[in-house]
Amino acid sequence: MTQPKIEFRNVYKSFGQNHVLQGIDLTIDKGESMVIIGGSGTGKSVLLKCVLGLLTPDKGEILIDGKPSSDGDREAFFARFGMLFQGGALFDSMTVWQNVAFRLLRGTLKRPKSEARAIAIEKLRRVGLKEWVADLYPAELSGGMQKRVGLARAIAADPEIIFFDEPTTGLDPIMSGVINKLIREIVTEMGATAMTITHDMSSVRAIADKVAMIHDGKVRWTGPVADMDHSGDPYLDQFINARAEGPIEAIR
Amino acid sequence: MNPVSALLTPIGHSTLAILAAIGRIAIFMAQTVSHIFRPPFYGRELLRQLLSIGYFSLPVVGLTAIFTGAALALQIFEGGARFNAESVVPSIVAIGMVRELGPVLGGLMVAGRVASSVAAELGTMRVTEQIDALVTLSTNPMKYLTVPRVLAATLAMPVLVAVGDAIGIMGGYLVGVTKLGLNSAAYIQNTVDFLVSWDVTSGLIKAAVFGFLLALMGCYHGMNSGRGAQGVGRATTNAVVSASVLILTANYIMTTLFFST
């Protein structure tokens, strides 16, 4: 049996009386694109932040290549990750190319400015943005362009693992389709392991190899995306078909 | 609940909350200081902050100083006239500016300008996940955001206050010579004769401490900002209020240490 790239073992996380994660068990294999779905407030983002060490689980373990994610040098740890944030999280005091090349301008991956800029422009091209965008500031870009710049920044240092937090939130359906297609292409060509959090079912179908649904702090269902439509699970059926009636309470 | 408990419970809760806040700020301060001495160092960020916090605060500090010096000269002349001691105007303006009013008013003005903008900037970065993004890009936010701002304010404030002192004394001189009829050469001579180096040095030490405190408060409240526009607004207000209170408190403590015999 091959070693999973990311493994959640009985992960718990609470905020006061709000028990968000209540024993998450999940594995993501190398090169696999896993999409996590679930209602608002079910702990999807918390799960992602726990992997990155932005939050510490109360109980349980998160393993990366079989080793606890909290072990070792943090800089080396983060050098293996790329992340596309929900709102882009671009640094508004920097130009687009400086955002994309942020990691290449400092720290262990530092290289000459001209080389970092060339890589940034290449990555911007990869996400469909022209060179002239490089010298603009994030505030001068549309929402879709900001998402693409965020994507370019996430892949700038060729990470092994990429996280996508609600990659299509706030975008029109056409731009959502473009971002979904880009994510799928990039993950495939880089051979990276991807973990995506989304509510958008078109994203799920475009990006996922496998899907996991979180409900009540646990993984309710997981399996290949092709099996999602005939899972027989009433919770998953209600969610993917966007029905107000069903076992998931509409008002939480 | 009996009346005594009803009275004491909120006092106890408030006391605990204040102690917890002091503890959190103390830990934040210790972390900031420890990161100042540990690599990596972000020199370019430090230069950017020196420009933003130091250079761009010059107009506000200069304007505050010139009008304070001018008003001080008028007040001392008026007060001194009651004892036929109008000649003390130059020396008291100089001592008052360099020991007390230069650093304190400069500190409060820079707190208004810098602590608020730092808290709003870092608070917005927190709310828009830019600080989380920094972490995922292998960059420690304390080192990259807090240390350059705190260091820049600590280094820039003595320079700002030194310039402010000179401008404040100049304000007193202009009023003294043009409005109060004091002799120009005598005014300058009196200023130089009565001022000792410790007057200036103590004011500059105060300024460095005020710079450290105001930037620390801006960073602390910004990094711990609540969600949304309201959270950032509250962080900004808290930064200015706490920086101002700390400056006035630290001023009293340092004045006691430096000058009480």
Same domain, B122 and B247: yes
pLDDT digits (tens, 9 = 90+) for B237-251: 999 999 999 999 999
Respond yes or no on whether the N-terminal peptide bond of residue B103 is cis (omega within 30° of 0).
no
Placement of tokens 């920044």 in the chain: A153
Q: What's the pLDDT score for residue A39? A: 84
Q: Which domain holds residue B233?
A: 42-259
The answer on pLDDT for B45 being more than 70 is yes
Contact B59, B84 (CB under 8 A): no
Same domain, B24 and B129: no
Where chain A has pLDDT below 50, the residues are none
| Residue A56 near chain B (CB below 8 Å) | no
Report the amino acid identity of residue A38.
G
- Give the full edge-to-edge strand order of the sheet including A59-64: A18-28, A6-15, A59-64, A67-68
Structure tokens at B39: 């690599």
A81 CB neighbours in chain B (<8 A) are: 136
Same domain, B205 and B94: yes
Higher pLDDT, A216 or B101: B101
- Phi, then psi, of B150 in degrees rounded to 5: -65, -45
Interchain contact, A85 vs B40, CB within 8 Å? no
Percent of chain B's residues with pLDDT above 70? 100
Q: What's the pLDDT score for residue B29? A: 96
From B214's Cα to the closest Cα of chain A, the distance in A is 22
A77, closest residue in chain B (CA to CA): B138
Same domain, B238 and B218: yes
Same domain, B68 and B29: no
Q: What's the pLDDT score for residue B261? A: 67
Across the interface, which of B42, B125, B136 has its CB nearest the CB of A78? B136
B residues 27-56 near A, CB within 8 Å? 40, 42
- Across all residues in chain B, what is the average pLDDT? 94
Q: What's the pLDDT score for residue B58? A: 95
The answer on pLDDT for B3 being more than 90 is no
CA distance A109 to A217: 37
Closest CA to B207 of B66, B96, B105: B105
| Residue A243 near chain B (CB below 8 Å) | no
Same domain, B14 and B63: no
A30: left (phi over 0), alpha (psi -120 to 50) or beta: beta
Q: What's the pLDDT score for residue A8? A: 93
The answer on pLDDT for B230 being more than 60 is yes
Which residues, including other chains, have CB under 8 Å from residue B80's CB and lie 6 or more apart?
A: B86, B87, B88, B89, B92
Q: What's the pLDDT score for residue A216? A: 87
Structure tokens at A220: 């309710």
Same domain, B21 and B49: no
Q: What's the pLDDT score for residue B53? A: 94
pLDDT digits (tens, 9 = 90+) for B55-70: 999 999 999 999 999 9
Q: How confident is the model at residue B228 (pLDDT cuts 50, 70, 90)?
A: confident
Q: Report the DSSP beta bridge partners of residue A62.
A: A8
A53 CB neighbours in chain B (<8 A) are: 135
Same domain, B124 and B202: yes
Same domain, B93 and B203: yes
CA distance A121 to A104: 13
Contact A4, A169 (CB under 8 A): no
Q: Is A96 helix (H, G, I), strand (E, B) or coil?
A: helix
- What is the β-pairing status of strands A81-84 and A161-165? parallel
Contact A180, A167 (CB under 8 A): yes
Q: Report the DSSP beta bridge partners of residue A11.
A: A24
Instruction: Please list the alpha-helical segments (H only) found in chain A.
Output: 44-52, 74-78, 96-100, 113-126, 143-155, 173-190, 201-207, 234-240
Which H or E run includes A80?
A: none
Domain count, chain B: 2
Interchain contact, B42 vs A106, CB within 8 Å? yes
| Residue B138 near chain A (CB below 8 Å) | yes
Same domain, B106 and B181: yes
Same domain, B148 and B80: yes
Mutation target among A83, A104, A166, A195 for the B interface, most CBs of B within 10 A? A83
Contact B245, B111 (CB under 8 A): no
Closest CA to B53 of B143, B160, B200, B208: B160
pLDDT digits (tens, 9 = 90+) for B158-211: 999 999 999 999 999 999 999 999 999 999 999 998 899 999 999 999 999 999
CA distance A29 to B131: 29
Q: Cα torsion at B34, B36, B41, B46 (round to 10°)?
A: 150
Across the interface, which of B42, B128, B138 has its CB nearest the CB of A89? B128
ipTM for this prediction: 0.85
Q: Rounded to 5 degrees, what angle do the CA atoms B129, B35, A15 make?
A: 40
Q: Is A214 helix (H, G, I), strand (E, B) or coil?
A: strand
From A2's Cα to the closest Cα of chain B, the distance in A is 27
Across the interface, which of A75, A87, A89 has its CB nearest the CB of B138? A75
Across the interface, which of B128, B135, B139 has its CB nearest the CB of A106? B139
Q: What is the DSSP string of B233-257?
A: HHHHHHHHHHHHHHHHHHHHHHHHH
Closest CA to B120 of B17, B229, B15, B210: B229
Same domain, B150 and B230: yes
| Residue B5 near chain A (CB below 8 Å) | no
Q: How many CB atoms lie within 10 A of CB A7?
A: 19
From A23's Cα to the closest Cα of chain B, the distance in A is 25
- Phi, then psi, of A128 in degrees rounded to 5: 85, 20
Across the interface, which of B42, B135, B138 has its CB nearest the CB of A103? B138
Across the interface, which of A53, A85, A107 has its CB nearest the CB of B133? A85
3-state secondary structure A115-140: HHHHHHHHHHHHCCCCHHHHHCCHHH
A82 CB neighbours in chain B (<8 A) are: 136
Range name among A65-74, A139-148, B44-53, B89-98 with the lowest pLDDT average: A65-74
Report the amino acid identity of residue A165.
D
Which residues, including other chains, have CB under 8 Å from residue B171's CB and lie 6 or more apart?
A: B65, B66, B67, B68, B69, B70, B73
B44, closest residue in chain A (CA to CA): A106
Q: What's the pLDDT score for residue A126? A: 87
- What is the β-pairing status of strands A33-37 and A193-197? parallel
